């Protein structure tokens, strides 16, 4: 297990012993036409990696097969190769190439987890993998914590079953912790692993800039700050946390570059006067863009044609992007590891200092960045957690073991699966439940007519070609993120939008995608047709990909707040600022901003204590609304919010809405409903927490969406059948109704349990939320702030965000802030 930052040459490190082994075999004339090494990467675009890390060094060593080189020859009955062959097999590999690969297997095969799963299920490929000696797993940090990685861990064990000799596994990872868990993920539960940890090789610097004087900087101001940072340094990567922000900042940067930025006051004018992305030297890169657009941006970045690229997580992973001078983090990176990864993209050479700048959008960002810096200095980074025996993944893998017509005993399946770290605690009864369902057992006493495999209580077996097709057409765990193409009338599509976002779009709405401002002309089954538009977007953008702040950071932020609070409590304001300068290396200006922020919070409301939340009661638009400030991070707050909403629903009639962020959550009551302080106080009782969370999740779109993923991965409902996507040929299946039915018939059904497990453990942090409720030292403090408290700004304005245009959000915050200041100055009576 080799752990070192991106760009330090770890891929080559992994391959050198393999090259050496191959060269020695060649010298001994024992290089047989069999695959010796397998390289598995989560990235689908492997072309660059192959060339840079494998083919170039082989070529330089004179080992690489050239197109005109002498073919293999047969000696003493075996085919001997004269040169080393490499091959790539991904979902995009043409059939002809795949066929060639079978007759002349490459010595080094580069592939993805999904293609590996397919190969393992095919007899022809299995034969070529029997002499495998090495498996290199790249970007382990991007695999270990998710279902894709859980599946890979099972595939690696399947591989072990067919190989003649034990395989050496080499894992490569960027910064991740704890390494022991990742190492166990790599090698499984029964083998030893050597850990090579060279994380200290590169240093990063993290500067904090807060380009605002009040409470918050509008995106245009952030863009101007980014612009001046870009002007001072060379090629810059600008990371944002939300896709929509990526678009907005690129829009502002291009407008600044073009010098003809549309003023918000200008009436909207139809036409194509907005800056076009093709002339701009500011690129955009995020996962909703068409692949060709992303590749063009990567290529232009490598070629030095771009001054900056604004991106979301999409450029965090190892795509080669050439020399980057600096990295800007808009708002921060929401985690220590993410900060290290993102900033690590700068100064891409060993020993070079990677420079990162946080552009704080509000005062919480300053606190987050300060805490991040402290965590980096302390080496406190997030702990990776492996998914706990995901049953949907198990079900799909079980089918892969028996297609098309193989048979395996249940005991053997259990033994192999438990060797994979995520499945070490797999229960026999869970395995049997999956087998029973796949075997057509149906739900409760209702059998299904469709069987994916045969099962008799002791063994499972394949049911021939038709049943195998279900596996081959639906392999993989990557959720089918439903997206809709967006095009300009008469042109090809230039990007995609998530279906959930599209559901809320109406004709006439204006939004930004790929740096273009467009107005919706029509929405139909084939996509969205738009027209270029000059003027402000009218639609608040989608935010389904907002990342929560990670755990060690949340705790450090709690320490920071607590430290300041205790000093303010003692009347030592100057000491509070000085402490921030000492412990968090903040400059005087940032320390002052932070102290006055927390001071204002104390003046109108109260600061949440690590073990005692503050509940602020407001009347918003005549609706009673409670902002529960906990400070325990978005994932745990999301779980708390659902528990709270379930409890409130039992007390009032009508619709209760919730909204969550890192600091807390909002519960809004229906019209005319009011709860007394004493009722709000009991909101976070630890008793019946699990039941209330379950009730709160039932019928939620969160659960429904994840059930869709689980049902697809677990092959309960296929994504594709008979070579076509079922979604395109029929209505989108009603996952809500099917889930309701399943829960009603048998709530122990394995994929129902898996849905709840993955939502509670992988999506929400239910465990932390429960622990929080269980360790409260006193009932929540109820306050009735006369004006919105600064800590609730974010959440209150995001609730307004559903009703007003985006551009207004920072103005709203400013307005709230001015109101607050007026109150503090005594201009508003409590």
Partner 1 sequence: MNAAPRALSVALGGGAHALPGGLLWLEATASLVVADLHLAYEEAIGGALPLWSLDESRTALEDACAAHGARELILLGDVVHGTRLSEGAAARVTATIRRLRRLCTLTIVAGNHEGATRGAELLGECVEEVERSGMLLHHGDRPRLSGFRHVIGHLHPSIALGGDRSVPAFLVAPEAIVLPAASSYSRGLNVLGRDCRAAIAAYGARAGSTDVIAATASHCYPFGSIASLARAARELRFAR
Binding status of residue 620 toward partner 1 by CB under 8 A: no
Binding status of residue 71 toward partner 1 by CB under 8 A: no
* Cα–Cα dist 239/358, whole Å: 10
**Shortest Cβ 716–partner 1 spacing (Å):** 6
- The tokens of 275 are what? 């800056």
Binding status of residue 730 toward partner 1 by CB under 8 A: yes
* Cα–Cα dist 661/387, whole Å: 24
What DSSP string runs through 386-434? Answer: -----HHHHHHHHHHHHTTT-EEEHHHHHHHHHHSGGGTT--HHHHHHH
Closer to partner 1 by CB, 199 or 720: give it. 720
Cβ burial, residue 432 (10 Å; 0-12/13-18/19+)? middle
Among 446, 490, 728, 825, which residue interacts with partner 1 (rule: CB under 8 A)? 446
* Cα–Cα dist 297/423, whole Å: 40
Binding status of residue 211 toward partner 1 by CB under 8 A: no
Binding status of residue 539 toward partner 1 by CB under 8 A: no
Among 323, 414, 726, 763, which residue interacts with partner 1 (rule: CB under 8 A)? 726
Q: Cβ distance 405 to 163 under 8 Å?
A: no
* Cα–Cα dist 336/340, whole Å: 6
**Shortest Cβ 509–partner 1 spacing (Å):** 13
- What is the CB neighbour count within 10 angstroms for residue 208? 23
Binding status of residue 716 toward partner 1 by CB under 8 A: yes
User: Which helix (H) or strand (E) covers residue 523, if one does?
Assistant: strand 516-524
Binding status of residue 803 toward partner 1 by CB under 8 A: no
Closer to partner 1 by CB, 66 or 506: give it. 506
Binding status of residue 427 toward partner 1 by CB under 8 A: no
Among 214, 479, 527, 736, which residue interacts with partner 1 (rule: CB under 8 A)? 736
Give 630's contacts (C-beta < 8 A, 6+ positions apart). 608, 613, 636, 637, 640, 663, 664, 665, 772
* Cα–Cα dist 240/315, whole Å: 11
Among 54, 182, 718, 788, which residue interacts with partner 1 (rule: CB under 8 A)? 718
Binding status of residue 266 toward partner 1 by CB under 8 A: no
Judged by CB under 8 A, the chain residues 694 through 713 that form the site for partner 1 are 701, 704, 711
Binding status of residue 804 toward partner 1 by CB under 8 A: no
Binding status of residue 301 toward partner 1 by CB under 8 A: no
What are residue 137's phi and psi, to 5 degrees?
-110, 115
Task: List the one residue out of 328, 310, 331 whose CA is nearest residue 218.
Answer: 331
Binding status of residue 403 toward partner 1 by CB under 8 A: no
**Shortest Cβ 674–partner 1 spacing (Å):** 20
Binding status of residue 526 toward partner 1 by CB under 8 A: no
Among 715, 764, 769, 787, which residue interacts with partner 1 (rule: CB under 8 A)? 715
Binding status of residue 448 toward partner 1 by CB under 8 A: yes
Piece of 8-16, 86-94, 305-313, 447-455 that binds partner 1 (CB under 8 A)? 447-455
Binding status of residue 463 toward partner 1 by CB under 8 A: no
Binding status of residue 507 toward partner 1 by CB under 8 A: yes
* Cα–Cα dist 715/393, whole Å: 9
Among 48, 461, 472, 733, which residue interacts with partner 1 (rule: CB under 8 A)? 733
Binding status of residue 728 toward partner 1 by CB under 8 A: no
Q: Find the length of the chain.
A: 830
Among 43, 617, 717, 821, which residue interacts with partner 1 (rule: CB under 8 A)? 717
**Shortest Cβ 521–partner 1 spacing (Å):** 13
**Shortest Cβ 446–partner 1 spacing (Å):** 3
Q: Please, what sign has the CA dihedral across residues 384, 388, 393, 397?
A: positive
**Shortest Cβ 657–partner 1 spacing (Å):** 10
- Which strands sit side by side in the sheet containing 196-197, from one edge to the other? 86-89, 108-111, 37-40, 134-137, 168-173, 2-3, 196-197
What DSSP string runs through 315-372? Answer: GTSS-------EEEEES--SSHHHHHHHHTTSS-STTPPEEEEEE-SBHHHHHHHHHH
β-sheet bridge partners, residue 87: 109
Binding status of residue 100 toward partner 1 by CB under 8 A: no
The footprint of partner 1 on this chain (CB under 8 A) covers a number of residues equal to: 36
Binding status of residue 748 toward partner 1 by CB under 8 A: no
**Shortest Cβ 443–partner 1 spacing (Å):** 6
Closer to partner 1 by CB, 286 or 704: give it. 704
Binding status of residue 741 toward partner 1 by CB under 8 A: yes
Among 322, 442, 527, 779, which residue interacts with partner 1 (rule: CB under 8 A)? 442
Binding status of residue 721 toward partner 1 by CB under 8 A: yes
- The tokens of 589 are what? 């200006």
| Contact residues for partner 1, defined by CB under 8 A | 437-438, 440, 442-443, 446-452, 507, 655, 701, 704, 711, 715-722, 726, 730-734, 736-738, 741, 745
């Amino acid at each position: 297990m080799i752990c070192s930052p991106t760009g330090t040459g770890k891929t080559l490190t992994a391959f050198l012993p393999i090259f050496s082994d191959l060269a020695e075999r060649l010298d001994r004339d024992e290089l047989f036409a069999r695959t010796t090494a397998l390289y598995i990467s989560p990235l689908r675009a492997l072309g660059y990696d192959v060339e840079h890390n494998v083919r170039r060094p082989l070529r330089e060593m004179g080992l690489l097969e050239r197109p005109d080189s002498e073919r293999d020859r047969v000696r003493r009955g075996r085919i001997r190769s004269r040169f080393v062959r490499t091959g790539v097999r991904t979902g995009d590999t043409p059939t002809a190439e795949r066929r060639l690969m079978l007759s002349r297997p490459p010595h080094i095969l580069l592939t993805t987890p999904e293609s590996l799963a397919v190969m393992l299920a095919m007899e022809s490929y299995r034969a070529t993998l029997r002499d495998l000696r090495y498996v290199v797993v790249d970007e382990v940090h991007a695999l270990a914590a998710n279902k894709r990685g859980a599946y890979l861990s099972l595939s690696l064990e399947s591989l072990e079953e067919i190989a003649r000799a034990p395989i050496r596994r080499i894992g490569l990872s960027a910064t991740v912790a704890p390494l022991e868990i990742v190492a166990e993920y790599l090698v499984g539960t029964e083998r030893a692993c050597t850990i090579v940890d060279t994380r200290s090789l590169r240093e990063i610097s993290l500067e904090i800039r807060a380009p605002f004087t009040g409470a918050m900087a509008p995106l245009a101001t952030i863009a101007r700050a980014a612009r001046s940072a870009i002007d001072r340094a060379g090629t810059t990567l600008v990371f944002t946390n939300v896709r929509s922000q990526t678009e907005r900042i690129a829009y502002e940067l291009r407008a600044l570059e073009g010098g003809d930025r549309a003023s918000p006051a200008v009436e909207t004018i139809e036409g194509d006067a907005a800056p076009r992305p093709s002339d701009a030297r500011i690129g955009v890169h995020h996962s909703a863009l068409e692949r060709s657009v992303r590749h063009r941006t990567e290529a232009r970045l490598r070629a030095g044609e771009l001054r900056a690229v604004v991106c979301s997580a999409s450029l965090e992973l190892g795509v080669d992007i050439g020399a980057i001078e600096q990295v800007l983090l808009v708002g921060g990176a929401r985690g220590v590891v993410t900060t290290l990864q993102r900033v690590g993209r700068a100064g891409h050479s060993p020993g070079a200092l990677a420079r990162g700048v946080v552009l704080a959008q509000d005062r919480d960002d300053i606190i987050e960045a300060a805490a991040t810096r402290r965590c980096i200095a302390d080496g406190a980074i997030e702990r990776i957690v492996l998914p706990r025996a995901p049953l949907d993944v198990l079900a799909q893998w079980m089918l892969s073991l028996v297609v098309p017509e193989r048979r395996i005993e249940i005991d053997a399946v259990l033994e192999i699966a438990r060797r994979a770290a995520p499945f070490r605690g797999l229960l026999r009864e869970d395995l049997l439940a999956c087998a029973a369902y796949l075997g057509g057992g149906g739900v409760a006493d209702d059998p299904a007519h469709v069987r994916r495999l045969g099962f008799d209580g002791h063994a499972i077996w394949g049911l021939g070609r038709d049943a195998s097709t279900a596996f081959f057409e639906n392999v993989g765990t990557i959720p089918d993120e439903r997206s809709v193409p967006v095009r300009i009338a008469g042109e090809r599509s230039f990007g995609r939008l998530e279906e959930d976002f599209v559901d809320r779009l109406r004709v006439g709405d204006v939004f930004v995608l790929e740096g273009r401002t467009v107005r919706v002309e029509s929405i139909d089954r084939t996509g969205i047709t738009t027209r270029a538009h000059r003027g402000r977007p009218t639609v608040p953008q989608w935010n389904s990909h907002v990342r929560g702040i990670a755990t060690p950071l949340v705790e450090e932020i709690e320490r920071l707040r607590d430290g300041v609070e205790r000093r303010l409590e003692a009347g030592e304001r100057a000491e509070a600022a000085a402490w921030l300068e000492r412990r968090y290396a903040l400059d005087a200006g940032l320390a002052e901003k932070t102290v006055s922020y927390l001071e204002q919070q104390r003046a109108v409301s109260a600061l949440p204590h690590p073990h005692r939340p503050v509940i602020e009661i407001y009347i918003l638009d005549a609706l009673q609304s409670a902002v529960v400030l906990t400070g325990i991070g978005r994932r745990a707050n999301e779980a708390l919010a659902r528990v709270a909403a379930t409890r409130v629903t039992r007390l009032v009639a009508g619709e209760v809405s919730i909204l969550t962020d890192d600091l807390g959550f909002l519960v809004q009551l229906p019209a005319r409903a009011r709860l007394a302080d004493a009722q709000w106080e009991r909101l976070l009782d630890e008793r019946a927490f699990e039941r209330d969370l379950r009730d709160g999740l039932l019928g939620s779109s969160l659960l429904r969406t994840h059930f869709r993923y689980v049902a697809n991965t677990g092959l309960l409902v296929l994504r594709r059948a008979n070579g076509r996507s079922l979604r395109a040929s029929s209505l989108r299946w009603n996952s809500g109704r099917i889930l309701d039915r399943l829960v009603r018939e048998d709530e122990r059904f394995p994929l129902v349990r898996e849905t709840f497990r993955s939502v509670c453990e992988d999506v929400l942090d239910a465990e932390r939320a429960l622990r929080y409720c269980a360790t409260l030292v006193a009932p929540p403090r109820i306050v009735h702030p006369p004006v919105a408290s600064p800590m609730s700004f974010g959440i209150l304005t995001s609730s307004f965000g559903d009703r007003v245009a985006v551009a207004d959000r920072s103005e709203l915050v400013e307005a709230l802030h001015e109101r607050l200041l007026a109150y503090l100055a005594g201009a508003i009576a409590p």
